[in-house]
Copies of this chain bind each other. A is one copy, B any other.
Amino acid sequence: MIVVMKAGATEDEVGAVIGRIKDLGFTPHVSQGVERCVIGCIGDERTKPRLQSLEAMAGVENVVPILKPYKLASRQVKMTRTVLNVDGVQIGGDHVVVAAGPCSVETREQVMETAVAVQSSGAKLLRGGAFKPRSSPYSFQGMGEDGLKLLVEAKAVTGLPIVTEVMAPEDVDLVASHADVLQIGTRNAQNFPLLKRVGKSTKPVFLKRGMASTIQEFLMAAEYILTEGNPNVILCERGIRTFETATRFTLDLSAVPVLKEESHLPVFVDPSHSSGHWRYVAPMALAAIAAGADGLLVEVHPRPAEALCDGPQALKPDTFQAMMDSLVKVAEAIGRKAL
């Protein structure tokens, strides 16, 4: 870190800061500018994040971090890209992978019909929510364990591994006993007890970016999982909160190349929740792949107008098929495969 002293900071104030830097186990390095004194703190600021408290000392203007705060998620620690194997499906390799299915599991018929349809169009994973975070307590809250069982039935028929959300630490074992990938939703992106708990699981974790998380905070959420011992994390950009209301969230596709630059973890994009309207899903899906994403999470429902959750953003099987047809071509254009 760099400690920037105020313009009129006294020698005593500078001395006190230097003393404190040493106390915290860092080596100070003073640089006197034309107007201000700047003190570099040499040492690993990530594992000892207490330097920030120097800002409370007299004469200090502010404290500027130099190193990124993540380690295990960074490419400095792991240069090669992480490729996960989810029941035979490679995630983060040459093939872009599409996970598709309904927002929420509603009935056996609905799950089966959707699973068969998305598989035949080229999806490699089945998504579907049994535990649903809903902003209203009056909305459908998901089928819970019964929903998990329907997903397992759908996997038995189609062979598609299951991605499904877990919302509370005490549900991790239950969900992990049915699912192949544990999804953490945007509203739990900084639910640290939950992140620690899935970090202790052996199942891969599909981590959505918080709608208010910076990319740095997003990687720190991944770091929580990685430091607990689970190296299998998939990052997913799904839209952030901005002033724009024409779409439900603003899909931050620039996050894709930034995450690829900063981290070795695979990067997915969810074009459904960000858009909020099915009409915008396919263009954003293609854009995500062109930007370098390793895969997509897409909502598909056989009868969107009857969906218990997020119907307006669901593709029907035929529009999903059309999207996949284009996706194959865009993936090839950038030297990857989609099927």
Query: Which of A's residues lie within 8 Å of B, judged by CB?
Result: 2, 4, 7, 20, 29, 31-36, 38, 40, 42-44, 46-50, 52-57, 64, 66-67, 69, 76, 133-140, 167-171, 187-188, 190-194, 196, 210-212, 214-217, 220, 223-224, 227, 240-247, 250-258, 261, 274-275, 277-280, 283-284, 286-292, 304-308, 311-312, 314, 326, 329-330, 332-334
Contacts and interface: CB of A to CB of B under 8 A. Distances in A.
A4 B68 CA distance: 12
Contact of A191 (B43, B188, B223, B330): B188
A52 B42 CA distance: 24
A227 B137 contact: yes
B66 A4 contact: yes
A314 B56 contact: yes
A290 B333 CA distance: 10
Contacts of A47: 138
Given A38-B2, A49-B139, A330-B330, A192 B224 contact: no
A241 B137 CA distance: 25
Nearest to A312: B55
A255 B246 contact: yes
